[in-house]
Structure 1
Amino acid sequence: MKLDDATIEKKLLHFPDWEYHNNAIHAEFEFDNFKDCFSAMSRIAFECEAQNHHPDWTNVYNILKISLSTHDADGVTNKDFKLAEAIETIVEVEE
């Protein structure tokens, strides 16, 4: 179920790396080098498969940009926050 803007903003208080715009939540992570970034992406990919929920993401050298939204709901849902939480855990381990 699509969350309303107020609910999304409230949930984002627990996700300081993330912001909400263009009907999705977005984060950008910087790593020491490409290898560390790609390693995190690989770990995130396994989590995405486990949750059957996949990000729109881009990687340039050591920067990973991620956007999460639920296409079926045409907006942000609890699935996106669940995946964001997992991504945060993976990125923290990498750093």
Structure 2
Amino acid sequence: MHKLNAQEHAAALRALPQWRHDAVRDAIRRRFEFADFAQAFAFMTAVAQAAETHNHHPEWSNVYHWVDVTWTTHDVDGLSDLDLLMAQVCERAAADVAAPMGAKA
């Protein structure tokens, strides 16, 4: 794991267009919105399982149908490649949760 440089930040944000860089904290953040609390909770459960697997945990909050997620790596005092991996995990989990039943590949 390494701290991302400015060029890597820019490339990461191009690859994750719905995520925003928090320059003060050197973190990325995004709000996910779902149809209801059950979908939001299912998303959080999927991300939590991946976070345990990767031993890298989000800063997040949940109110009813939305979840705010922030990724940063305290060990490198900023954004790391692991944060990008976990942001991609969030994207896949959100797509899986929001997909109609039977539509998953």
Smaller-chain TM-score bracket: over 0.9
Question: Which stretch of the first structure deviates more once superposed, 7-16 or 69-78?
Answer: 7-16
Q: Residue 54 of structure 1 aligns with which residue?
A: 57
**2:40 matches 1:37:** yes
Aligned residue pair count: 95
1:89 to 88, 92, 95: 92
1:47-94 deviation per Cα after TM superposition (whole angstroms, max 9, x unaligned): 000111000000011110000000000000000001111111111111
Alignment RMSD (CA, Å) = 0.9
What secondary structure, in the 3-state scheme, does the structure 2 residue paired with 1:80 have? helix
Q: Could you tell me the percent identity over the aligned residues?
A: 33
- 2:19 partner amino acid: W
Cα deviation, residue 11, structure 1: 1.4
Residue segments in structure 2 that go unaligned for 5+ positions in a row: 99-105
TM-score by length of structure 1 reads 0.95
TM-score by length of structure 2 reads 0.86
1:11-65 deviation per Cα after TM superposition (whole angstroms, max 9, x unaligned): 1111111010131000100000111101110111000001110000000111100
What secondary structure, in the 3-state scheme, does the structure 1 residue paired with 2:28 have? strand
- Which ranges of 4 or more aligned residues in structure 1 deviate by more than 2 Å? none
**2:23 matches 1:10:** no
- 1:69 partner amino acid: T
